[in-house]
Amino acid sequence: MLQKCVSHPIWAMAFRPFYLLAAIYGALAILLWGFGYAGTASLPVQYWHAHEMIWGYTGAIVVAFLLTAVATWTGQPPVRGAFLMTLVALWLLARIAVYFDGGVGVSAVVGTAFYALSAVGMGISVWKSRNSRNYVAVFALLLFGASHAVFHAYLQPFNPMALHHGLVAGLVLVSGFIGLIGNRIIPFFTAKRLNIQQVQSPMWAMLAALILPMGMAMLLLFQAALPLAGVLGVAAGLLGLVQTYRWFHRGVLPESMLWILHLGYAFASLGLAILGAAQFAGGYGKMASLGIHLIGVGGIGLLTIGMMTRTALGHTARPLYPAPKGLNVAFYCMAVAAVLRGVAALLMNVSAVGYVHAYRTSAVLFAVALLIYFWRYAPWLTQARLDGKQG
């Protein structure tokens, strides 16, 4: 019985359970936040919201993508079976725990263990293959887990300023993952689909897309040299915008599976630059909120649904183009959600009614996009590959 459960197709690769769980949980969490859920006494209001969207929703997708991709990058067997089941159990326990006032400590330990064990799973493949270029990705995953632990350390005693910087540090680390993955896949996918020459980037630019946000995140995490953190953020954001311009080709526009990635990378880069500039004013206020949500909804929202759509097609042996039925609607919903959340940030302290309507509509559209994904992909991710291969 246990062997049959472990060998079910959903445990064949990390993207299968985590993409589905992230989609349904992300929709639930954003709707709770948009319509008034205030967290618990231990993890109240925006701290709960940011914690769950950064280390809950986004973290699941980052781990799923890296543990899936590392098998291709290294030629090693993927994380699967009992190991994968353990990761899923840790992630689920961390999510459930935060809804109970006494559960925040459980979430701290279990959630951090989830990232540590994920890094071990990735690190084993990298080490066995001597794939040295990906050691930095393993370190970044460990740092992401460390940022989760440090954030929880700031809860006792409750330190609002430190907590804010801790949350922003986690978000900036995600933008580093976006830089790492985006530099590898966006120009490649674009060139392959459009049958054009791939735009090459120097190694320093590809490394800087991850290392600059990592440096910014570490400074924010320990509340040190915030102006320097701002410089690193602005530099990383501007570099990302230059790369976005270099990769763009007009042939991208009619291809929804491409423009979603280009637009998401542009949003994340712009948000990182704005968030970096906001550090010179203390890292709070309208500018910081705009930067945070351009990364969070524009960058993370667009890129997660874009990558979940694409990688799941490839790894279940389905055609990559065109986008599956309904997913174009999901892409447009997420794009409008990003714009409206940016508008809401600008309306903060200007129009209370406009602010509330903008961020609630954004939340609904974000949720609709993820629910469309779940509806379309649940049957595929719980069945074997079409070609009969493992994965």
pLDDT digits (tens, 9 = 90+) for 289-301: 999 999 999 999 9
Q: Is the predicted pLDDT of residue 306 greater than 70, yes or no? A: yes
What is the predicted pLDDT for the residue at 225? Answer: 82
Q: What percent of the chain has pLDDT over 70?
A: 98
163: how many CB neighbours lie within 10 A of its CB? 20
Question: pTM for this one?
Answer: 0.93
Instruction: Give the span between the Cα atoms of 251 and 258, in whole angstroms.
Output: 9
Tokens of 262: 């280009």
CA dist., res. 211 & res. 231, Å (int): 13
For residue 131, the model assigns a pLDDT of 82
What local confidence, expressed as pLDDT, does residue 281 receive? 81
Give dist(CA 293, CA 35) in Å, integer.
Answer: 17
- Is the pLDDT at 5 greater than 90? The verdict is no
**Residue whose token pair is 């120097």:** 202
Write the CATH number of the domain with boundaries 8-381. 1.20.210.10
**What value does the mean pLDDT take over residues 246-275?**
96
Cβ within 8 Å of residue 38, ≥6 positions away:
44, 45, 48
Q: Which residues contact 86 (CB under 8 A, 6 or more apart)?
A: 117
Side-chain-side CA neighbours of 160 within 13 Å: the count stands at 5
Residue 266: other Cβ atoms inside 10 A? 21
In the structure encoding, which two tokens stand for residue 37, read together? 């859920």
pLDDT of residue 349: 83
In 3D space, the residue among 240, 351, 353, 352 whose CA is nearest the CA of residue 303 turns out to be: 240
- Provide the residue ranges of all domains of the chain, joining segments of one domain with +: 8-381
The CA-based angle 260-77-16, given to 5 degrees, is 45
- The b/e string for 88-122 (b: 16+ C-beta within 10 A; e otherwise) is bebbbbbbebbbeeebbeebbebbbbbbbbbbebb
Residue 346: partners with Cβ closer than 8 Å, 6 or more residues away:
286, 290
Amino acid letter, 8: H
Tell me which of 105-119, 209-223, 241-255, 280-294 is least confident: 280-294
What is the pLDDT, as a whole number, of residue 389? 79
Confidence of residue 4 (pLDDT cuts 50, 70, 90): low
User: Residue 159's pLDDT is what?
Assistant: 85
Q: To 10 degrees, the CA torsion angle through 311, 312, 313, 314?
A: 50
| C-beta separation of 261 from 253 below 8 A | no
